[in-house]
Amino acid sequence: MSGGHDYPHEPTGVETRKLGMWVFLSTEILFFGTLITTFLLFKGRDFPGIKLTDVYDIPFTSISSFILLMSSLTMVLAHNALENEDQEKTRVWLLATAMLGAIFLAGQIYEFTEFYHKGFELSTNIFSSTFYVLTGFHGLHVFIGVVFLIGLWAIGQRQQGLSLDGGMNLEFIALYWHFVDIVWIVLFTVVYLI
């Protein structure tokens, strides 16, 4: 980064940008931790009105969860392709990852609208409020990830293509993407399954 040629960098051996992402993700754990704690706190309490169990469709959400998990696989494939300096494949897998993420988001939007029509609204009861804020916050993360991926794909269209040490680094975004996927595994279990 900045500095003359004699300047030493990264005494830890971890690339600075990547280290920054790790620190960022560690705070994300606190963000989601606070949300999940609130969710679990209110889950056990009595509340009037319709419940999530009355409206949800486990098979549907399972499929969309599977799609999101598959996007982690395509992300790995994109990274692998870039390591082998195959620009073409990198772009294909990047776009595939973004599309899978977008399909997951579409599924979430569909699910939310369905719930709304069945009377499970944001302010129906304390449970519905925590549900929407928690899963919506995750959805926002997926959305930002999709925007990043498409941006990366667009940058990859340039002549020089992508590299592993550019500004918007593929590895950097991959870390974020995998994290968002892992969070969904936790959320799916906590919110839908138990």
We find the least distance from the C-beta atom of residue 58 to another protein, in angstroms, to be 25
Asked if 17 contacts 25 with a C-beta cutoff of 8 angstroms, the reply is: no
Residue (24 or 110) nearer to another protein, CB: 24
Stretch of residues binding another protein (CB under 8 A), selected from 36-44, 58-66, 71-79, 105-113:
36-44
d(CA 29, CA 26): 5
b/e burial code for range 119-149 (CB count within 10 A of at least 16 → b): ebbeebbbbbbbbbebbeebbebbeebbebb
Question: Residue 34, interface with another protein (CB under 8 A)?
Answer: yes
Please give the structure tokens belonging to residue 66: 């599977």
Residue (31 or 60) nearer to another protein, CB: 31
* Binding test (CB under 8 A) with another protein, winner from 14, 109, 185, 186: 14
We find the least distance from the C-beta atom of residue 121 to another protein, in angstroms, to be 9
- Give the type of residue at 92: V
Size of the site for another protein (CB under 8 A): 45
38 to 77: interface string for another protein, x by CB under 8 A: x--xx--xxxx-----------------------------
We find the least distance from the C-beta atom of residue 163 to another protein, in angstroms, to be 13
Cα dihedral sign, 113-115-120-126: negative
Asked if 36 contacts 184 with a C-beta cutoff of 8 angstroms, the reply is: no
d(CA 28, CA 10): 24
Q: By three-state DSSP, how is residue 31 classified?
A: helix
Site for another protein in 156-185 (CB under 8 A): 167-168
Nearest Cα to Cα of residue 152 among 183, 137, 174? 174
* Binding test (CB under 8 A) with another protein, winner from 67, 99, 155, 190: 155
We find the least distance from the C-beta atom of residue 160 to another protein, in angstroms, to be 12
Q: Which spans of this chain sit near another protein (rule: CB under 8 A)?
A: 1-12, 14, 16, 19-20, 23-24, 26-28, 30-31, 33-35, 38, 41-42, 45-48, 122-123, 125-126, 129-130, 133, 137, 151, 155, 167-168
